[in-house]
Amino acid sequence: MPQTQSRLSDFMPYRMAITSNAVSGLIAGEYRSEFGLKIPEWRIMAVLGDAGSLTQRDLVRATLMDKVAVNRACKVLEERGLVQRSPNEQDGRSHHLELTAAGCDLHGKIWPQAVEMYDRIFAAITPREQEKLRAILDKLLKAARALEGDDK
């Protein structure tokens, strides 16, 4: 049977997803084996390391992971002593999550490795192409969030 190019291979969301998974998988391989973290756990740590204290709802919004994945990752990180909860004064039903000292220390060890792998992967495109890609991704995310708002 002759192979023909499928419609799926031309479907940009699919191509973006598999590319994202490949890049995330390579970076995750580095910290999974050395530090025992899965992708959702590192994403939570990375966001908290960048933004500081956030609620789980904020983490869902920032990572675009589903609530269950965020909740599960936060529980694992709490059990490992990498994240701690504190009361949310504005909303008694939620808590703020932040990296503990151990979490900050681990974040400081993983981040340079993640950046180094990122640099190796993105060396395949020029700095100008990286800027263009960043701008295009920003536009697509903004459009998706706008459409998401239309559905509510």
pLDDT tens for the chain, 152 residues: list them: 445 567 888 899 999 999 999 998 888 887 888 899 999 999 999 999 999 999 999 999 999 899 999 999 999 999 999 999 998 888 778 899 999 999 999 999 999 998 999 999 999 999 999 999 999 999 999 999 899 876 55
Residue for token pair 């503990």:
100
Count the neighbouring beta carbons within 10 Å of the beta carbon of residue 71: 15
Q: For residue 41, count CB atoms less than 10 angstroms from its CB and return exposed for 0-12, middle for 13-18, buried for 19 or more.
A: buried
DSSP state, residue 95: E
**Residue 79 identity (one-letter amino acid):** E
What domains appear along the chain, each with residue ranges and CATH number? 11-120 (1.10.10.10)
Q: Report the pLDDT value the prediction gives residue 147, as an integer from 0 to 100.
A: 93
Q: Report the pLDDT value the prediction gives residue 1, as an integer from 0 to 100.
A: 44
Q: Report the pLDDT value the prediction gives residue 69, as an integer from 0 to 100.
A: 96
110, two tokens: 């993983």
Count the neighbouring beta carbons within 10 Å of the beta carbon of residue 8: 10
Q: What is the longest distance spanned by two Cα atoms in the chain?
A: 64
Please say whether the beta carbons of 101 and 84 come within 8 A.
no
